[in-house]
Amino acid sequence: MNKVIIPDYWDEEDKANYFDLISRGQSLIGKTIAPRDEFLIDMSAKMTINQIKGYKDEKTEEEVAEQMKKHKEAQEESHIFTPEGLYEEGQHPLELNKEYVNEPNLIS
């Protein structure tokens, strides 16, 4: 896992719980998770501790609303092309580990 950034408002118990959750997550998932996806374990541990302790996000409501707006816009503008017959051929699109490329000439 990459460099760990611990929130400065966490106490020693929070830090200990974080490393415990990371250890458990890594032992449960093992080497099945790609290195580029390891951040998900970190994010999950931090979210769990923040939720249990009732810590709130440091962002203002306006910043969160702006992030949500941008995320929604990105979802609406994204175009993911799935070739015909891919599912029927036994390769479900969500199981493939390929980069999606937006092709302007393709319309779904």
Using CB atoms within 10 Å of the CB of residue 26, give its burial: 0 to 12 exposed, 13 to 18 middle, 19+ buried. middle
Which sequence spans correspond to the domains of the chain? 1-58
Instruction: State yes or no: pLDDT of 17 exceeds 90.
Output: yes
Q: How many CB atoms lie within 10 A of CB 22?
A: 18
Q: How many CB atoms lie within 10 A of CB 33?
A: 15
> 31-74, pLDDT tens digit by residue?
677 777 777 888 889 989 999 999 887 777 888 788 778 877 77
63 compared with 81, residue with greater pLDDT: 63
80 compared with 16, residue with greater pLDDT: 16
Q: What pLDDT, on a 0 to 100 scale, did the predictor assign at position 108? A: 43
